[in-house]
Amino acid sequence: MKKRTWKKGIPGKVAAVVAVIAAAVGVIVYRIRHQEEIH
């Protein structure tokens, strides 16, 4: 039970962190591209 929870818990946290980072990077890249297009 402990090992199963540990294995299941860490990938969940990693996935959440990766999703947040990916969203932040996506917004930054989108803004940079948008600024370049407007500029």
* 4-20 per-position pLDDT tens digit: 666 667 888 999 999 99
Which pLDDT band, with edges at 50, 70 and 90, does 34 fall under?
A: confident
pLDDT of residue 28: 96
pLDDT above 90 (res 22):
yes
Q: What is the residue range of 2's domain?
A: 1-39
Q: How many domains does the chain have?
A: 1
Alpha-carbon dihedral of residues 9, 12, 18, 24, nearest 10 degrees? -110
User: What backbone torsions phi and psi does residue 23 show, to the nearest 5 degrees?
Assistant: -65, -45
* Cα–chain center distance at 16: 7
pLDDT of residue 12: 86
